[in-house]
């Protein structure tokens, strides 16, 4: 009987070790996701500053255009990608806005149950969004859809948004796993 119990303990600890390694890998992806989001936000700022500079200089230099023709289009792409790329790291770091009134007055068991329910609902939404954006991107690729302003293949920004949504879904799945394992769901050290 003792061998069976020790065997179950070893198997349980292996499963827990595997889960912890998987959660660490997801945290690493979330960090990469956050850096990509920051890069997109930086590029968005550069594009906006370039638009302001071109507009200002065009009043002095007659041959300069009054704007950058692709600025609005690419700003939209960068904004969407920034939101989806930043979401997974923000969730893991505890940066999303939450109403804590209910959680602060509930027992730990109720808090865990509410966290599980909200994580499962978020996972369902993020999974649906990921699948829809992947399908949307695939359709744009197969139909060779392009933007009117710059002739950019639309599947590229759509695929980036789908990738960010997939990473958010993965982070929500990890959050659900952390709740079930009794692990901490937020890590403030990720944003340092």
Report pLDDT digits (tens) over 156-168.
Answer: 999 999 999 999 9
CB-based contacts of 131, cutoff 8 Å, min separation 6 = none
Q: What is the pLDDT of residue 123?
A: 96
Q: Per-residue DSSP letters for 90-133?
A: HHHHT-S----HHHHTS-HHHHHHHHHHHHHHHHHHHHHHHHHH
Least confident of 137-141, 169-173, 176-180: 176-180
Q: What is the pLDDT of residue 70?
A: 86
What does the pLDDT look like over 36-74, one tens digit per residue?
999 999 999 999 999 899 888 888 888 878 888 888 889
Residue 12 has pLDDT above 70, yes or no: no
120 vs 191, higher pLDDT: 120
Say how far apart CA 175 and CA 116 lie, in whole Å.
Answer: 8
Residue 108 has pLDDT above 80, yes or no: yes
Q: What is the pLDDT of residue 4?
A: 47
Distance between alpha carbon 52 and the CA centroid of its chain, in Å? Answer: 29
Say how far apart CA 176 and CA 170 lie, in whole Å.
Answer: 10
Q: Mean pLDDT over residues 161-184, rounded?
A: 91
Q: What is the pLDDT of residue 187?
A: 78
pLDDT-based confidence at residue 191 (cuts at 50, 70, 90): low
Predicted TM-score (pTM) of the model is 0.82
Q: What is the pLDDT of residue 2?
A: 46
Say how far apart CA 82 and CA 43 lie, in whole Å.
Answer: 10
Average pLDDT, the chain: 85
Cβ(26)–Cβ(123) below 8 Å: no
CA atoms within 13 A on the CB side of 128: 6
């Amino acid at each position: 009987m003792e061998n069976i119990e020790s065997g179950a303990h070893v198997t349980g600890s292996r499963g827990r070790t595997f889960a912890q390694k998987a959660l660490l890998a997801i945290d690493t992806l979330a960090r990469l996701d956050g850096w990509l989001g920051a890069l997109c936000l930086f590029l968005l700022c550069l594009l906006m500053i370039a638009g302001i500079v071109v507009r200002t200089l065009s009043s002095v230099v007659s041959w300069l255009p009054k704007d950058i023709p692709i600025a609005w289009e690419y700003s939209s792409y960068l904004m969407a990608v920034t939101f989806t790329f930043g979401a997974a790291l923000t969730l893991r770091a505890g940066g999303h806005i939450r109403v804590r009134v209910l959680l602060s007055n509930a027992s730990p068991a109720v808090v865990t149950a509410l966290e599980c329910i909200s994580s499962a609902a978020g996972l369902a939404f993020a999974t649906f969004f990921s699948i829809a954006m992947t399908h949307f991107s695939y359709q744009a690729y197969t139909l060779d859809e392009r933007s009117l302003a710059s002739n950019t293949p639309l599947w590229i920004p759509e695929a980036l948004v789908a990738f960010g949504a997939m990473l958010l879904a993965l982070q929500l799945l990890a959050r659900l796993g952390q709740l079930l394992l009794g692990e901490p769901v937020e890590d403030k050290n990720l944003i340092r």
